[in-house]
Amino acid sequence: MNIVSQAQVVIPRDGFPYCEPFTNSTFRQNTVLGGAPIDPVLTAATGENPEGQGFLRLTNNNTDQRGYVYVDLPFSSAYGLKFSFEYFMYGGSGADGISVFLFDGNISAADFQIGGWGGSLGYAPINATDIIPAPVNLPGLKGGYLGLGLDAFKNWGNNMEGRLGSFDNPNAAPINLSFIPPNKEYFQSIAVRGPESDNYRFIAGKRVLHGPDNEPSPAVVLPPSAYLYPNIADISRRFSLASPVKVVDCNQDGYRKVFVNLAPTGSGTYLLSVDLLVTENGFRRIEPIITNVPYNFPAPDNLKIGFAASTGGQTNFHEIRNVTVEVSDYLAIPIPEIIDQRAEICKDEENLFEFDVTLTSENSFVRCVQLFETDPGTPDNSPPTGGDPDVNNCGPSDVCIEKCNPANNSVTIPGKGTFTVVLDENVDLENDQDRIKAAINFVPEPGFVGEAQIYYQVIDNYGLTSFGKTVTVISNPFPEEIDRGDLEYPTCDGQSNGRIFDVTVGNLVPGFDYQWLWQPSTGPEVSLGKSGANVNFDPSTGVGVFDITGINIGTYTLQVWNPSDGGGCYLDVPIVVDQELGTPIELTSENEVICEFQPVSFTPFIDGVYNPSNIQADFRWYQNANRTGPLLDNTTVTIGGAPVQVSV
């Protein structure tokens, strides 16, 4: 696959129903035009019609005009296609006609190639070796899958100019001549030609009005032999594909609207139906042209739709508008499946919910995500009928309700925060993960703590909507240090008999967790976890009181955190243990009353023995009970305002 084709797989997140009225002065994205000597134009852009009331003019009524337009957006063929459009063929001498075609959705704009003109209507090939001064040999539409021709002149339904098959014989070999014998002139006919893979063969059709004097009545169509396509024998039902003037009002004679349905059979092929809404003699009616004809050609995974028109020595204006494209069999498509989303965050943190959508339908992808403050309720996935052939289906078909509403891309909950859909504008059809990925971002209002909840739905490219599910954010506060508590120092470093207690922390929520860390005087930090530790938590106040036993000299850090998906909302409470009580001793006397200038001795004992020979004791004497200040060691100190000589 070349680089251009790979790039073409990346498409906008668009899909069914597709509606392009062509009534405004600008095109929707991904609309491609071409023609000679000029491209098609929007009449609202030229000022000929007011905004919202225009048409797409494929050709004007000059001779030798050609124009085409196609939607450079692939539509899945998995569940069939229905499409409809109004056309206006008027104001000329009667040629050539309009075609609507489907072609392989993998063909990029760079690779697109329109078919032959004249009687081939931009779809079939044209090969005429007898044209002077130069023979004509043009291929058919590249990747063509189906071509429906509305032929006001006479050649779309014959096998002249190199076309395969005709009204009289669908297998008639191509004749590479431009001279059309009278028995091959099929004026005022509607017919379908098949895919490029079958050489654009004639499939089926109907004459709707008599031809010139040499053919006063419509031809009987018998292709293939399994079915009969009758004339419109009732003269009152005959109608012209064109009209002298443009007829826009469906209540007026000359109004025309086309409905095409490729209904899947379940075996990879389709049943083809073509109907026209016709107003004649003051009455509207649906005229069946082709009804449930087997179209036994497996389609590419995706198809693109386009239109073409041309004039030759005879002319007409050719215009279209109110184009719609739908799925044929909605009931066969599974709806998207989603689940509740939940996240815990720390205060003032954002959160990105990234999730996969379960899509079990073929060729599907996430088209959009919609957000709601409240439960949107049961989705309406009933098959739409607004695009079906009906005498009241005038103008735009009633299927153009855009389910992906940009207003639902964001929801703000006052005092809490804003949820916003995060979805790439385009989707890579070759990347299965890209098809199902979606995301919602939450930005809290400053200081928000608590729960915020909304609902979301997903809509796929078939226009089907999931049930609503919740998106819940729990914003937890960071723990707050209230009191670092008290210490019971170890009697000696290494004795592991100290204690830290009454360390008080607030802003705790259920599910909080903690651990203790110890950085000794030398060596690496040690994680103590909860060994020797305890906490008394009051959920009504969010206050926890912590203690730990078995401490030594060093720095102890209480690390406590509220839960969050990012690993926790942390608080560190460092507590320095820099004193030791020493080995327990006894004194001969702890208090002595003496006379002025009288000496006194305090003798320490360990386990009742004064300096036992098996203990190398280091006795340290302090003036203050908290052991601040210098050691007492053969010096003079002031006690009670008087100097005292101390000897150790």
Mean pLDDT of 168-179: 91
pLDDT in tens, 544-574: 999 999 999 999 999 999 999 999 999 999 9
| Residue type present at position 514 | Y
Structure confidence at residue 612 (pLDDT): 60
pLDDT in tens, 190-235: 999 999 999 999 999 988 876 443 343 333 333 333 222 344 556 6
pLDDT at residue 527 greater than cutoff 60: yes
Q: What's the Rg (C-alpha) of the chain?
A: 44
pLDDT in tens, 317-328: 999 999 999 999
Structure confidence at residue 239 (pLDDT): 86
Distance in angstroms (rounded) separating the CA atoms of residues 134 and 136: 6
pLDDT in tens, 109-131: 999 999 999 999 999 999 999 88
Distance in angstroms (rounded) separating the CA atoms of residues 472 and 454: 7
Distance in angstroms (rounded) separating the CA atoms of residues 511 and 221: 78
pLDDT in tens, 596-622: 888 888 888 877 776 666 666 677 788
Distance in angstroms (rounded) separating the CA atoms of residues 204 and 218: 15
> Which residues touch 310 (CB under 8 Å, ≥6 apart)?
59, 65, 66, 67, 96, 97, 117, 118, 121, 122, 318
The domain ranges of the chain are 18-331, 333-476, 480-577
pLDDT in tens, 534-547: 999 999 999 999 99
Query: Residue 169: how many CB atoms within 10 A of its CB?
Result: 14
Structure confidence at residue 587 (pLDDT): 81
pLDDT in tens, 239-298: 889 999 999 999 999 999 999 999 999 999 999 999 999 998 899 999 999 999 999 999
Structure confidence at residue 353 (pLDDT): 96
Structure confidence at residue 228 (pLDDT): 29
pLDDT in tens, 335-345: 999 999 999 99
SS3 at position 631: strand
Structure confidence at residue 216 (pLDDT): 37
Query: Residue 183: how many CB atoms within 10 A of its CB?
Result: 12
CA 139 vs CA 96, 169, 496: distances in Å? 19, 22, 93
Q: Which CATH number fits domain 480-577: 3.40.50.300, 1.10.3720.10, 2.60.40.10, 3.10.50.40?
A: 2.60.40.10
Distance in angstroms (rounded) separating the CA atoms of residues 629 and 644: 16
Distance in angstroms (rounded) separating the CA atoms of residues 167 and 201: 11
| Residue type present at position 209 | L
pLDDT at residue 628 greater than cutoff 80: no
Structure confidence at residue 50 (pLDDT): 97
Q: Which CATH homologous superfamily contains domain 333-476?
A: Immunoglobulins (2.60.40.10)
Answer whether 320's CB lies under 8 Å from 115's CB: no
pLDDT at residue 141 greater than cutoff 90: yes
pLDDT in tens, 18-75: 999 999 999 998 999 999 999 999 999 999 999 999 999 999 999 999 999 999 999 9
Structure confidence at residue 200 (pLDDT): 98
Q: Which residue has the tokens 């009742």?
A: 608
Distance in angstroms (rounded) separating the CA atoms of residues 218 and 238: 9
Distance in angstroms (rounded) separating the CA atoms of residues 613 and 538: 53
Query: Residue 418: how many CB atoms within 10 A of its CB?
Result: 18
Could you write out the DSSP letters of every residue in 90-131? ESSS---EEEEEEEETT--TTT------GGGTTTS-EEETT-
pLDDT in tens, 358-415: 999 999 999 999 999 999 999 999 998 999 999 999 999 989 888 999 999 999 999 9
Structure confidence at residue 230 (pLDDT): 40
Distance in angstroms (rounded) separating the CA atoms of residues 57 and 460: 32
Structure confidence at residue 224 (pLDDT): 32
| Topology at the third CATH level for domain 18-331 | Jelly Rolls (2.60.120)
Distance in angstroms (rounded) separating the CA atoms of residues 441 and 454: 12
Could you write out the DSSP letters of every residue in 66-95? EEEEEE-S-EE-TT-EEEEEEEEEESSS--
Same fold, 333-476 and 480-577: yes
Structure confidence at residue 615 (pLDDT): 65
Q: Buried b vs exposed e over 103-133: b needs ≥16 C-beta within 10 Å?
A: bbbbbbeeebebbbbbbbbbbbbbbbeeeee
